[in-house]
């Protein structure tokens, strides 16, 4: 299998180069000026503190230039990160985070992050000019790459290796270093526009850069850059491949909250309060109306009039479908409809971003002083499916009443139901009702289209300032010192689609309100009341009959009433991350060896990281009227906390002989609250001949817990039920309350942060070969292996009970009975990942021009995890996972370009291999999806092709035209549906781009 993969890599990325060799004369591969040594000693490349030639480095370093971005039509940092074959396939982009999330998942709002080697965003270190940037204000951990001033970037260096021995924490997966222009002169104006063939989801960017002063000749340079970008929204309904109604392939949607409401039975509340207190039309869920049956099955799973004989059909609603009661093993829902929630989701979130960058550099003799400042402002809007209102007898007592406003609709619904459910009475003669049910309100589930898409808007502001000085100490020694401050502040607020509930969601909230209420479901007078409604909030509005859940079209009065109880503009939460940093280093020559000069770098770093998160008064149900179905996160708010990091490091480069070089590094970090950690790294390269390099590395790494993982609030919740038993007394297969020792238990559980967390630790090594027979051709292959232990994560109740002997400290007993279980974040288990990176470059003279080609690919060999040392690993390579990173076995990018004079034509391919398909999440044994005739257990490979042409009109003007996704390939079908979350349900946003074919134009003007 591996051999086949290697052959495929050669065929896809390199065999065409060999074919070209016979017909064309080879020419030097052009190397970006920025990557060349700026003096005889080289430059400081990412992953080392010692100057060296990046072309001969033992480090697996990938360099991306603006020309590479132009070739692929990349206009923003998120697209760049997704383009990298070494980046994982986690929920790290805006498309993957545009649906329902819990409050604790707030960090994804407006965030695009990097995920090298699939180790997670908090294990990828992002730098700007070699120094850290602030983590996102809501996340407190992952860096939002949207803050990077792309217009000022000269190159991006991607270190595909661990680097904790150089940079400390976060560098387990690798390092991405954005390097800005240093000596820019003149004026550069650029514009970019990307529009799909469908005419939607435009991407636009305008930028300007100005600089003056020649650092080499005048001794100073000042430059400034500003860029503004706009990304338009793309909705699921705008793409045919977003289709959750594919039952023959094993996919259908579970939700029965539909734009035309589905009627349900409902148990009356024990308190007898509210509109449902006297019972509802379809009776109790398990009550006496046994003749509400069809073909002997009680229709307690909902009945939609569209799905009844003579009805218009569920598909008469946009996004509607017949509920698949067989697939979901819910026979009582045979007459229900479902609705494709993915159609309402934004496949591309609208986001506007402003970035700015300024730098001043001065030569003071042989010394160089710089100061730089950068910042950004981003406004993102996450829209997802409309709220579903499901009647219950406590916190949402809603039902459709019979009154003067509703009589026509009520009677029509009643007659349609009575025609199928004889327990209701005679059709057309509503006075003949054996059960006396006519006139009782109709309980329902309803997807409120008129309420608007649910929306979170997030505003993120970042700022970073740095200053530094470097220069010679003696002829062979130099110093570098610097420091700076960075911050990221983000706030999310409610947009459309959210409304005040109007009743108390719990008894505790009712009692604490001071209104005299004591029970959940009682009216909350603090909530606004819509004109015409007799009670507050959305509950009062629904129960008045002003809103009609059995119609998609609402009256102007109803729409005005919705606006009156809207919670738009309410603050959700906010957070702020701050970073103070200072560093100093000296490098120099020690002594000579047969292979050259032994060089050393020693240095020290200091950082103070701070983070605070605050919730919202509106999210406190005891103090404020409740807003329905909002993922507030007050439980996890905490005042600003800080931690200090002190570090010292040393690095020695030893050229033992001309052909063999070894570099050793070690770093000691001291963290507030964690103590000290020592991490070494050794790299070596062997060049027996000029055209062959063998290289390798070994190192250890670590990642400290994020602020949230430590300081999030701890909540205690009662067991929701499910017949739990004590696994230490109940034998396997025992029956609850029957088998001795199997008495049912009902423990509370605690969740949240854990102040006793330790760091993750890693051990990694790599070995590779680089072939460079001439300066015109290079080919490399690098094997890498990452082992992570003490993985920080969460544990489920099922996992805890299955391994109860290993976690005695997480079980609390009272009189021998389990009464409390600890499900807080902890250091669990291990993760193993390995693979091979391939890279190739070539250039040839052809047809009076230059033909160049290249590819970068990653073959994933191992991806597995386990919870405990004594448990077997679970394979995650090549299989679907609901959360986290999808371990795609093979990924590559390949390109070929022809340049003649001032014209360049480029053609490229982006390839992401297939993997094992998922199935509907609640149906795990057996996999019912697999019983469907067209079910495919494999998700097909996703590959797109891009074409671009660049013409330099004169030395001051350049125009680039391009087509992304030239053949308009849709994302492959994938079952990603999870009842309440997931963008689209029938495609995978962690892998594919939903936009389809698009056309790009970029213009650059220089003065």
Does residue 533 form part of some domain? yes
User: What pLDDT sits at residue 270?
Assistant: 76
If you average pLDDT over residues 722-749, what whole number do you get? 90
Torsions phi, psi of 798, nearest 5?
Answer: -60, -45
According to DSSP, residue 446 is labeled E
Does residue 525 form part of some domain? yes
277 versus 358: the higher-pLDDT residue is 358
Give the H/E segment covering residue 801: helix 797-802
Task: Kindly indicate the confidence band of residue 755, based on its pLDDT and cuts at 50, 70 and 90.
Answer: very high
Mind listing the pLDDT tens digit for each residue in 521-547? 999 999 999 999 999 999 999 999 999
Task: Kindly indicate the confidence band of residue 426, based on its pLDDT and cuts at 50, 70 and 90.
Answer: low
* C-alpha to C-alpha distance for 890 and 5, rounded to whole angstroms: 8
- What's the token pair of residue 593? 């060896």
Does residue 561 form part of some domain? yes
Does residue 572 form part of some domain? no
Does residue 520 form part of some domain? yes
Distances 783 to 765, 780, 860 between C-alpha atoms, Å: 8, 10, 10
* C-alpha to C-alpha distance for 83 and 73, rounded to whole angstroms: 11
If you average pLDDT over residues 579-598, what whole number do you get? 96
Q: Is the dihedral of CA 648, 653, 656, 659 positive or negative?
A: positive
User: What pLDDT sits at residue 568?
Assistant: 97
Spatial contact of 708 and 694, defined as CB atoms under 8 Å apart: no
Token pair 């070994």 in the structure block, residue: 698
Spatial contact of 229 and 191, defined as CB atoms under 8 Å apart: no
Tell me whether the omega of the peptide bond preceding residue 679 falls within 30 degrees of 0, making it cis. no
851: pLDDT strictly greater than 70 = yes
Spatial contact of 500 and 567, defined as CB atoms under 8 Å apart: yes
108: pLDDT strictly greater than 70 = no
User: What pLDDT sits at residue 283?
Assistant: 83
Torsions phi, psi of 820, nearest 5?
Answer: -150, 135
Mind listing the pLDDT tens digit for each residue in 628-676? 999 898 889 999 999 999 999 999 999 999 999 999 999 999 998 888 9
Token pair 């997670």 in the structure block, residue: 120
Mind listing the pLDDT tens digit for each residue in 493-527? 999 999 999 999 999 999 999 999 999 999 999 99
Does residue 470 form part of some domain? no
In 3D space, the residue among 551, 525, 555 whose CA is nearest the CA of residue 539 turns out to be 525
* C-alpha to C-alpha distance for 531 and 558, rounded to whole angstroms: 9
* C-alpha to C-alpha distance for 568 and 539, rounded to whole angstroms: 17
Does residue 558 form part of some domain? yes
Mind listing the pLDDT tens digit for each residue in 208-252? 999 999 999 999 999 999 999 999 999 989 999 999 999 999 999
If you average pLDDT over residues 700-717, what whole number do you get? 91
111 versus 578: the higher-pLDDT residue is 578
**Helix, strand, coil percentages, rounded to 5, for the chain:** 15, 40, 45
* C-alpha to C-alpha distance for 905 and 798, rounded to whole angstroms: 57
Strand partners, 171: none
- What's the token pair of residue 46? 């990412």
Spatial contact of 222 and 359, defined as CB atoms under 8 Å apart: yes
User: What pLDDT sits at residue 37?
Assistant: 38
Question: What count of Cα atoms within 13 Å lies in the side-chain half-sphere of residue 572?
Answer: 29
User: What pLDDT sits at residue 735?
Assistant: 87
User: What pLDDT sits at residue 509?
Assistant: 92
Structural domain count of the chain: 1
- What's the token pair of residue 132? 């850290």
Q: Three-class SS of residue 798?
A: helix
Domain that holds residue 530: 500-566
User: What pLDDT sits at residue 721?
Assistant: 66
10: pLDDT strictly greater than 60 = no
* C-alpha to C-alpha distance for 165 and 171, rounded to whole angstroms: 9
Does residue 978 form part of some domain? no
Mean pLDDT of the chain: 88
- What's the token pair of residue 928? 């019912």
* C-alpha to C-alpha distance for 578 and 640, rounded to whole angstroms: 10
Tell me whether the omega of the peptide bond preceding residue 926 falls within 30 degrees of 0, making it cis. yes
Those residues whose C-beta lies under 8 Å from the C-beta of residue 541, and which sit 6 or more positions away, are 502, 530, 533, 547, 558, 561, 562, 565
Q: Angle at which helices 556-564 and 537-544 pack, to 10 degrees? A: 160
């Amino acid at each position: 299998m591996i051999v086949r993969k290697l052959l495929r890599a050669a065929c896809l990325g390199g065999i065409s180069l060999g074919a070209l060799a016979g017909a064309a004369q080879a020419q030097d591969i052009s190397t970006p000026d920025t990557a060349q040594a700026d003096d005889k000693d080289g430059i400081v490349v990412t992953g080392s503190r010692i100057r060296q030639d990046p072309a001969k480095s033992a480090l697996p370093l990938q360099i991306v230039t603006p020309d590479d971005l132009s070739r692929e039509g990349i206009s923003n940092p998120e697209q760049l990160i997704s383009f990298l074959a070494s980046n994982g396939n986690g929920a790290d982009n805006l498309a993957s985070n545009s649906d329902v999330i819990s409050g604790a998942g707030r960090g994804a709002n407006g965030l695009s992050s990097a995920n090298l080697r699939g180790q997670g965003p908090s294990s990828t270190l992002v730098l700007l000019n070699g120094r850290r940037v602030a983590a996102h204000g809501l996340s407190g951990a992952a860096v939002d790459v949207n803050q990077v001033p792309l217009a000022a970037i000269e190159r991006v260096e991607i270190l595909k290796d661990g680097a904790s021995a150089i940079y400390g924490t976060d560098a387990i997966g690798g390092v991405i270093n954005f390097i800005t222009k240093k000596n820019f002169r003149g004026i550069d104006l650029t514009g970019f526009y990307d529009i799909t063939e469908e005419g939607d989801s435009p991407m636009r960017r305008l930028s300007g850069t100005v600089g003056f002063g020649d650092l080499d000749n005048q001794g100073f340079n000042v430059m400034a850059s500003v860029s503004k970008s706009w990304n338009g929204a793309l909705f699921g309904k705008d793409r045919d491949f977003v289709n959750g109604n594919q039952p023959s392939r094993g996919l259908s949607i579970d939700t029965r909250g539909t734009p035309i409401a589905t009627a349900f039975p409902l148990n009356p509340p024990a308190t007898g309060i509210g509109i449902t207190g006297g019972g509802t039309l379809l009776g109790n869920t398990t009550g006496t109306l046994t003749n509400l049956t069809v073909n002997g099955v009680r229709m307690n799973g909902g009945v939609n009039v569209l799905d009844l004989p003579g009805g218009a059909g569920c598909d008469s609603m946009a996004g509607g479908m017949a509920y698949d009661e067989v697939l979901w093993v819910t026979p009582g829902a045979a007459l229900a409809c479902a609705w494709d929630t993915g159609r309402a989701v934004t496949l591309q979130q609208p986001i506007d971003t402003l970035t700015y960058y300024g730098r001043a550099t001065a030569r003071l003799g042989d010394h160089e002083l710089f100061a730089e400042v950068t910042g950004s402002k981003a406004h993102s809007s996450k829209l997802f499916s409309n709220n579903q209102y499901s009647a219950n007898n406590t916190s949402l007592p809603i039902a459709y009443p019979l009154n003067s406003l509703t009589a026509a609709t009520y009677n029509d619904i009643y007659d349609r139901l009575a025609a199928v459910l004889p327990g209701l009475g005679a059709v057309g003669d509503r006075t003949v009702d054996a059960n006396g049910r006519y006139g009782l309100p109709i309980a329902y589930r309803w997807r409120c289209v008129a309420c608007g898409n649910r929306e979170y808007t997030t505003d993120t502001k970042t700022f970073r300032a740095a200053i530094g000085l470097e220069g010679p100490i003696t002829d062979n020694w130099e110093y570098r010192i610097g420091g700076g401050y960075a911050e990221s502040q983000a706030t999310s607020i409610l947009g459309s689609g959210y409304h005040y509930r109007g009743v108390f969601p719990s008894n505790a909230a009712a009692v604490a309100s001071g209104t005299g209420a004591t029970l959940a479901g009682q009216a909350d007078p603090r909530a606004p009341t819509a004109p015409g409604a007799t009670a507050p909030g959305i509950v009062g509005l629904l129960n008045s009959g002003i809103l009609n859940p059995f119609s998609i079209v609402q009256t102007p009065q109803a729409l005005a009433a919705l606006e009156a109880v809207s919670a738009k503009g309410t603050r959700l939460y906010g957070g702020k991350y701050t970073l103070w940093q200072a560093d100093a280093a000296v490098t120099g020559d020690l002594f000579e060896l047969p292979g050259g000069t032994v060089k050393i770098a020693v240095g020290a770093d200091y950082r103070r990281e701070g983070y605070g998160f605050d919730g919202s008064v509106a999210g406190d149900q005891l103090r404020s009227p409740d807003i329905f179905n909002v993922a507030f996160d007050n439980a996890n708010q905490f005042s600003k906390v800080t931690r200090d990091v002190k570090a010292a490091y040393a690095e020695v480069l030893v050229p033992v002989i001309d052909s063999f070089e070894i570099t050793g590094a070690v770093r000691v970090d001291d963290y507030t609250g964690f103590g000290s950690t020592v991490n070494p790294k050794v790299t070596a390269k062997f060049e027996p001949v000029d055209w062959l390099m063998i290289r390798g590395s070994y190192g250890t790494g670590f990642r400290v817990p994020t602020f949230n993982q430590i300081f999030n609030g701890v909540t205690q919740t009662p067991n929701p039920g499910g017949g739990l038993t004590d696994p230490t007394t109940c034998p396997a297969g025992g029956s609850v309350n029957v088998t001795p020792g199997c008495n049912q238990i009902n423990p509370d559980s605690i969740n949240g942060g854990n102040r006793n967390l330790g760091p993750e630790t890693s051990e990694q090594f790599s070995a590779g070969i680089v072939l460079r027979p001439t300066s015109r051709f290079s080919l490399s292959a690098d094997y890498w292996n990452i082992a992570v232990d003490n993985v920080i994560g969460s544990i489920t109740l099922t996992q805890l009970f299955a391994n109860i002997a290993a976690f005695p400290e997480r079980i609390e007993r009272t009189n021998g009975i389990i009464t409390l279980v600890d499900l807080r974040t902890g250091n669990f288990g291990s993760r193993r990942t390995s693979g091979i990176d391939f890279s190739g470059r070539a250039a040839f003279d052809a047809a009076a021009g230059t033909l160049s080609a290249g590819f970068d690919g990653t073959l994933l060999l191992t991806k597995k995890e386990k919870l405990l040392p004594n448990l077997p690993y679970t394979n995650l390579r090549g299989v679907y996972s609901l959360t986290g990173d999808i371990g795609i076995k093979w990924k590559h990018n390949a390109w070929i370009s022809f340049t003649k004079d001032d014209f360049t034509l480029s053609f490229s391919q982006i390839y992401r291999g297939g993997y094992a398909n998922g199935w509907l999440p609640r149906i795990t044994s057996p996999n019912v999806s697999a019983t469907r005739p067209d079910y495919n257990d494999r998700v097909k490979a996703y590959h797109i092709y891009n074409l671009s042409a660049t013409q330099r009109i004169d030395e001051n003007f350049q125009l680039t035209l391009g087509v992304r996704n030239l053949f308009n390939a849709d994302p492959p079908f994938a079952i990603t549906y999870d009842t309440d979350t997931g963008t689209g349900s029938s495609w995978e946003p962690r892998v594919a781009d939903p936009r389809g074919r698009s056309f790009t134009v970029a213009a650059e003007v220089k003065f």
